[in-house]
Amino acid sequence: MTHMSRRRLLISVASIAATAPFAATAQASAPIIHVVKDINCGCCTAWVEILGNAGFTVTTQASMGTLLIRHKLENGIPQQMHSCHTGEVEGYMIEGHVPPVDIRRLLDERPEAIGLAVPGMPYGSSGMGPEDQREAYDVFLIRKDGSTEIFARYDAA
């Protein structure tokens, strides 16, 4: 059995105490995204997992059918931008399989906008199959007047 000297024990405790505030700060600064999704949707669950792995704190709420569509419309997401799940992060709406890197860019740039959308469910987008088999798709910025513009473009793999 290995014995720890008093000095080594004190150094270990001091090291843990010194790094604890940084761990708490890192966790506290993780963006919190609330996702409204169909409870039975596998791709929604995959997207939530991708967000968590990318450092977001994710909460989810089950919804379906007309309630989910109404939630999207009430939050300014035009019908042509709809997908299967809707997130909200720091006042922005995130519709569909938007990659985490684009969400972070949105939060860094803070444009006057409703949020981002990847309409439909393009194969190879975040949560929709392997990226190395991705079909081309665009991430759209939804402006407050309902207009859209391309925020990011992903070519086919």
Query: What is the model's pLDDT at position 27?
Result: 47
- Residue 122 main-chain phi, psi, to 5 deg: -65, 135
Residue identified by tokens 């194969």 is: 123
DSSP string, 55-124: T-EEEEEE--HHHHHHHHHHTT--GGG--S-EEEETTEEEEES--HHHHHHHHHH--SSSEEEE-S--TT
Residue identified by tokens 């798709």 is: 137
Residue-wise pLDDT tens digits, 80-126: 999 999 999 999 999 999 999 999 999 999 999 999 999 999 999 99
Does residue 24 form part of some domain? no
Q: Alpha-carbon dihedral of residues 129, 117, 47, 128, nearest 10 degrees?
A: -10
Does residue 18 form part of some domain? no
Query: What is the model's pLDDT at position 65?
Result: 87
The residue ranges of the chain whose pLDDT is under 70 are 1-28
Does residue 1 form part of some domain? no
Could you tell me if 81 and 115 are in contact, meaning their C-beta atoms sit under 8 angstroms apart? no
Does residue 130 form part of some domain? yes
Query: What is the model's pLDDT at position 151?
Result: 98
How buried is 67 (Cβ within 10 angstroms: 0-12 exposed, 13-18 middle, 19+ buried)?
exposed
Coarse DSSP helix, strand, coil percentages of the chain, rounded to the nearest 5 percent: 40, 25, 35
Does residue 20 form part of some domain? no
User: Can you give the pTM of this predicted structure?
Assistant: 0.80
Query: What is the model's pLDDT at position 132?
Result: 93
Query: What is the model's pLDDT at position 145?
Result: 95
Q: CATH number, domain at 35?
A: 3.40.30
Does residue 39 form part of some domain? yes
Query: What is the model's pLDDT at position 78?
Result: 97
Note down the domain range covering 115.
Answer: 31-154
For the chain, the domain total comes to 1
